[in-house]
Amino acid sequence: MPQSLVLDNEIQFSGYKLKEWYQGLDIKQFFTFIANPQANGKIESSPGESAFNLVYGSKVIAPVEINKPSWRGKLYDRGLNVEQMKADLDFVDKIYKTRMTRAYNLKFRARNFQVGNLVLRKAEKYGPIYKPNPNWKCPYKVAELVSAGAYKLQYQDG
């Protein structure tokens, strides 16, 4: 039995009947503003997800289900739930990697150079932070195509 519940300020959670019921079960009731978590130090809500689901990774069991278990409560299997949560994390990781790859590929522009073309090479950062460094080094000449997108460079003079 929970000792306290943290709820958002929705009207369905603040009725006098619920307050009496919580008091009868010795459950303390606290309210939070989901829209402004910085002000109260509580969790921020994500679209389509409840705060409880974000914290605990499962749906909340309503107070009426505590004394009278529902089918969800009766069929709950902790081992299966842990496996499902791990699978969900793997799926989220794959989605994240896919989105990051797509974002990178949208910004990436492939360039093809021929032997003899003049190119600029990106300068590496060195020296003190307070001293400005150039972003590009002097023109180089493409000497050889090593592989797709990789070139051997030489100074323009030879």
* Per-residue pLDDT reduced to its tens digit, 113-127: 889 999 888 777 766
Q: What percent of the chain has pLDDT over 90?
A: 3
- Per residue in 57-83, pLDDT tens? 777 766 666 667 677 677 778 888 888
Strand 28-32 and strand 4-8: the pairing is: parallel
In whole angstroms, give the CA distance from residue 120 to residue 146.
17
Residues for the chain: how many in total?
Answer: 158
What pLDDT sits at residue 12?
66
15 compared with 100, residue with greater pLDDT: 100
pLDDT of 39 reads 47
pLDDT in tens, 124-158: 776 666 667 777 778 889 999 898 878 898 988 86
Sign of CA pseudo-dihedral 124, 144, 149, 111: positive
Report yes or no: 39 and 31 within 8 Å, Cβ to Cβ: no
Instruction: Name the pTM for this structure.
Output: 0.33
pLDDT digits (tens, 9 = 90+) for 36-65: 555 444 444 556 677 777 777 777 766 666
pLDDT at 42: 46
Residues 6+ apart with CB under 8 A from 42: 6, 32, 33, 34, 51
Let me know: does 103 contact 126? Beta carbons within 8 Å.
no
Average pLDDT along the chain: 76
Buried b (16+ CB within 10 A) or exposed e, 81-117: eeeeeeeeeeeeeeeeeeeeeeeeeeeeeeeeeeeee
Which one is predicted more confidently, 8 or 27? Answer: 27
Break the chain into its structural domains and give their ranges. Answer: 1-75, 77-109, 118-155
